[in-house]
Structure 1
């Protein structure tokens, strides 16, 4: 059965992006440990929201490849806003509902996992009972504001599966507990 994983980096105060949406705060603390590599290797497809796609593909900032360019595979973007797809795009744009987008990504992933990126899309997937695991790389930084990891959703029970230290970063893996 194809699992759906929410894979994310978070500050100690619970933010995945500061108010200016910069990413520099994530770096300079060392690399994620074995759990990060294992998670990346488990993925057969990635599903992102439009905001994450826009932030990761801003002109003038150079190419910021997913997982530092170490991962390749089907990448989907769920959006309800008009878009122009570059001719060389590695992304497939979807405009269906969240459940349909997850089903599309699962079909592409085959027997591997689907990685969900971002906060809002992940919250919607959690609300629909579509997320199986959450993998968080906890970075020793306090952002003080920005995009919260989880905001506005119904409570979700979790069971810790793993906790690793890799230098300054703490890697956490949780299973979503279903009633």
Structure 2
């Protein structure tokens, strides 16, 4: 059965970016360390070309990512994430229909890599229709995940915890006051992250 899953990486103290994130600044000051697990080790925005670690995942990271991509039929992300990522170079990073939540859907970019949608509920509805019997992946940012959880639209929540205390930035559950119960589905551990999967009790 098709499910809606949300996943995001955060620090031990609950931040999903470092301070001063945004367009042209990526994950903010020191925020790239949150995603060492994606690249197999340390990387930096301003590193010399060819000096970054390989992007081939291995072990726990590969198992977790392979499982997520195998189930994914459509994706949802927020406009801030889209802008901070530099539009992913106008190339869809997931290879499935991807819906960007924005208050300005009239700014729809050319091509069919992304579809701008006004509101989380509409974005998830359209993503579910596009995904068929596969899953919808909500990739962030934090505000989009909070809105989807508050609306009761998330079936599973995956938190990837980086072994890092950032001390500042954007918190995943900043201002979130809703009481939601979770059921533990499993945990995986690697050098660069702890992967925790939950089912959301509806």
TM-score with structure 1 setting the length: 0.85
- 1:42 — aligned with what? 71
2: CA distance, partners of 1:105 / 1:152 = 27
Structure with the higher strand share, 1 or 2: 1
Q: Which runs of 4+ in 1 moved over 6 A?
A: none
Instruction: Write out aligned runs for 1:120-135 (5 A).
Output: 120-135=143-158
Cα 1:152/1:83, change in 2 over 3 Å: same
Q: Which runs of 5+ in 2 are unaligned?
A: 22-26, 41-56
2: CA distance, partners of 1:78 / 1:140 = 30
Structure with the higher helix share, 1 or 2: 2
Paired residue total: 171
Instruction: Write out aligned runs for 1:1-179 (5 A).
Output: 1-21=1-21, 22=27, 23-29=31-37, 30=40, 31=57, 32-57=61-86, 63=89, 69=93, 71-81=94-104, 84-88=107-111, 90-95=113-118, 97-116=119-138, 117-153=140-176, 154-178=178-202
Q: Which runs of 5+ in 1 are unaligned?
A: none
Displacement of 1:177: 1.4
Displacement of 1:28: 3.5
2: CA distance, partners of 1:83 / 1:16 = 28
- 2:52 — aligned with what? none
Q: Which has the higher contact order (CA 8 A, sep 6+)?
A: 1
Contact 2:156 2:198 in 1 (8 A): yes
Cα 1:121/1:27, change in 2 over 3 Å: closer
Cα 1:176/1:55, change in 2 over 3 Å: same
1: CA distance, partners of 2:145 / 2:170 = 13
